[in-house]
Amino acid sequence: MSIRIFVTGGTFDKEYNEITGELYFKDSHLPEMLKLGRSRVPVDIRTLMMIDSLKMTDIDRELIARHCIEAVEEKIIVTHGTDTMAETARMLAGKIKDKTVVLTGAMIPYKFGSSDGLFNMGSALAFVQTLPMGVYVAMNGRYFEALNVRKNKETGQFEEVS
Amino acid sequence: MSIRIFVTGGTFDKEYNEITGELYFKDSHLPEMLKLGRSRVPVDIRTLMMIDSLKMTDIDRELIARHCIEAVEEKIIVTHGTDTMAETARMLAGKIKDKTVVLTGAMIPYKFGSSDGLFNMGSALAFVQTLPMGVYVAMNGRYFEALNVRKNKETGQFEEVS
Amino acid sequence: MSIRIFVTGGTFDKEYNEITGELYFKDSHLPEMLKLGRSRVPVDIRTLMMIDSLKMTDIDRELIARHCIEAVEEKIIVTHGTDTMAETARMLAGKIKDKTVVLTGAMIPYKFGSSDGLFNMGSALAFVQTLPMGVYVAMNGRYFEALNVRKNKETGQFEEVS
Amino acid sequence: MSIRIFVTGGTFDKEYNEITGELYFKDSHLPEMLKLGRSRVPVDIRTLMMIDSLKMTDIDRELIARHCIEAVEEKIIVTHGTDTMAETARMLAGKIKDKTVVLTGAMIPYKFGSSDGLFNMGSALAFVQTLPMGVYVAMNGRYFEALNVRKNKETGQFEEVS
């Protein structure tokens, strides 16, 4: 069965607007990234929103949860800004017990040469295929249980809470 | 415990020699790739050889097997040229039963903008952490059992034999 | 004789801060760019400031002018944000008559894959070696006289005023 | 008037064939490079051949010369492999006196991250607009008169003969 990918925005998909000099969201780079990775995993990509995760509201999170619950797929990847990824993961973990949901993102926009995005996408796609049911964050080459992860604001790295 | 990474060469690590105009092996790009991916997974990288997998002999494969067997780590990644990756996987599967060994590589050298290397490295690192004991090939975003994989020479993609 | 390069900042040298998610100035990428271009032109690079050209004041422009005038070199490149590049060029043209001064910059930060920076640097370096004394803007593969150039804010392209 | 660009191949345009693992010629990257450079210089690109310059014969060089002579444009860029670029330049210099012809190329294929191609294209485009009639090689950020240039096979750099 296909893997469902829900796009919500985040650093991953930020572009540089050369007229205004600001970072903004255009289209998701997911299809381009999967093509570059020569991925042969059947996926179904749907963009739910394109926002900075610091601006994500409870209503946005409800929307993500509802889509995860209603999806026919049992394996789901959610691309997400890193700042509140752990918060969304925790909320999803309270509602979804019978699917494998992996949240991932990037510290640097994909279009920057120094982005971690392609690496993270490769690992998220692998984790969602192999981890048991549950909600996880896939960052820094590792996976974290949704109820035991936080982003260290100083180092920018994800780590266990306890 | 650390993950052991054995480097054997392959397209992954090919560089362009600007004096001779030929592709050649210099150093492995593994450390650079893991840094780019902001990987926080403890790894121990060792270069066993730097060769094109079409030139890999039985003696070379014996060497790889011996290193896998003698390593203290239970989780091992082998970077390898794609042309004979399935052959090496099969041979390793006959000798190693109590470790998780994941072979990966790239269709395009990492230093080319269009390389699948970073994506593959992300997925191999995830697969080695989550798959049960056994020998696998991680390519195209998927994992394959060592005894049921081949590279399709026409499409360049990996697929199940049966 | 060497070519003098004065760095003043601009989009050219913007980096992405992965902790704050903002664009900022770190070091100039000029040395790295000239190395990538295998440039063998003797240059002497000096950073005068690292600012967004929208924040450039008259005092900053005076500083640039003074450095151009006092430099022993007769050929000078000034890297500069594109938003007020034409304004700085005009001001310099009123003060410098006996040197060739070429201003250049980029629409997209050098560290983005889609940057025009390397192309612009190649053309600026060529123009400064071949154009007669005067002040010029080098953008979009062309050169413009300082008194007859503006940035079209809608297209992001440089064009003649008349 | 437009600038004419004749494509003859060379390292510039080499791609990596992921099925055979060899470098080969596909299409020219010139249009993509000029777009990346946000070039607004009117150009007319024509591919004459796509070969390694070590394989270029006298007949090939005659063909290039004829096209340069017959072109209506007075400013011409020829993209060319670096190994025999100086030889072709010398030959063209004997036949073309009333046009500005600039030969350029790259040490590393454009598709490699470390390519000098975009930089060289920026400089060649600038040189052809500003240099007087004659035949030149544009490499390493510099221009060389056709009758006084050679490629140093050991360093890979272009230099004056005398």
Half-sphere exposure of B124 (CA within 13 A, CB side): 33
Q: For residue B50, what is the enclosing H or E element?
A: strand B43-51
Q: Which two tokens stand for residue B14?
A: 């090919």
B-facing residues of D in 48-67 (CB < 8 A) are: 52
Average pLDDT over residues A118-124: 98
Of all residues in chain B, the one with the smallest CA distance to D53 is B21
Across all residues in chain C, what is the average pLDDT? 96
Residues A130, B127: C-beta atoms closer than 8 Å: yes
Residue B61 has what pLDDT? 98
Residue B121 forms contact with A (CB below 8 Å) = yes
Q: What is the pTM of this model?
A: 0.93
Residues C111, A114: C-beta atoms closer than 8 Å: yes
User: What sign has the CA pseudo-torsion C115, C118, C122, C125?
Assistant: positive
Residue C84 forms contact with A (CB below 8 Å) = no
Residue D107 forms contact with B (CB below 8 Å) = yes
Residue A31 forms contact with C (CB below 8 Å) = no
> Chain C closest CA to A127's CA: distance in Å?
24
Residue B1 has what pLDDT? 79
Using CB atoms, which residue from A36, A107, A121 is nearest to B38? A107
Residue A26, number of CB atoms within 10 A of its CB: 12
Asked if pLDDT for residue A58 goes beyond 90, the answer is yes
Residue D42 has what pLDDT? 98
> Chain B closest CA to A66's CA: distance in Å?
27
Contacts with D125 from chain C: Cβ below 8 Å? 123, 126, 141
Residue D108 has what pLDDT? 93
Contacts with D11 from chain B: Cβ below 8 Å? 18, 21
| Nearest in space to B116 (alpha carbons), one of B140, B96, B135 | B140
State which amino acid sits at residue A11.
T
Using CB atoms, which residue from D19, D23, D113 is nearest to B113? D113
Output the tens digit of pLDDT for each of chain B's 162 residues: 799 999 999 998 998 999 988 899 988 999 999 999 999 999 999 999 999 999 999 999 999 999 999 999 999 999 999 999 999 999 999 999 999 999 999 999 998 888 999 999 999 999 999 999 999 999 999 999 999 999 999 999 999 998
Across all residues in chain A, what is the average pLDDT? 96
B22 vs D74 pLDDT, higher one? D74
State which amino acid sits at residue B145.
E
Q: How far apart are CA C51 and CA C13, in angstroms?
A: 9
Helices (H), chain B: 30-36, 58-70, 85-95, 117-130
Asked if pLDDT for residue A12 goes beyond 90, the answer is no
Residues C107, A52: C-beta atoms closer than 8 Å: no
In this predicted model, what pLDDT tens digit does every residue of A101-117 receive, in sequence order? Answer: 999 999 999 988 889 99
Residue A45 forms contact with B (CB below 8 Å) = no
Query: Residue A94 — pLDDT band, cuts 50, 70, 90?
Result: very high
Q: Which two tokens stand for residue D17?
A: 């064939």
Q: How far apart are CA A154 and CA C93, in angstroms?
A: 46
Task: Give the best residue of A5, A43, A102, A118 to mutate against chain B (max B CB count within 10 A).
Answer: A118
Residue B113, number of CB atoms within 10 A of its CB: 14
Average pLDDT over residues A129-147: 98
* Phi, psi values for residue D71, rounded to 5°: -60, 140
> Chain D closest CA to B64's CA: distance in Å?
23
Residue B152 forms contact with D (CB below 8 Å) = no
Asked if pLDDT for residue C45 goes beyond 90, the answer is yes
Task: Give the best residue of D118, D139, D140, D143 to mutate against chain C (max C CB count within 10 A).
Answer: D118
The interface pTM score, or ipTM, of the predicted complex is 0.96
**Angstrom distances, CA of residue C49 to CA of C43, C59, C128, C135:** 18, 12, 21, 20
Helices (H), C12-113: 30-36, 58-70, 85-93
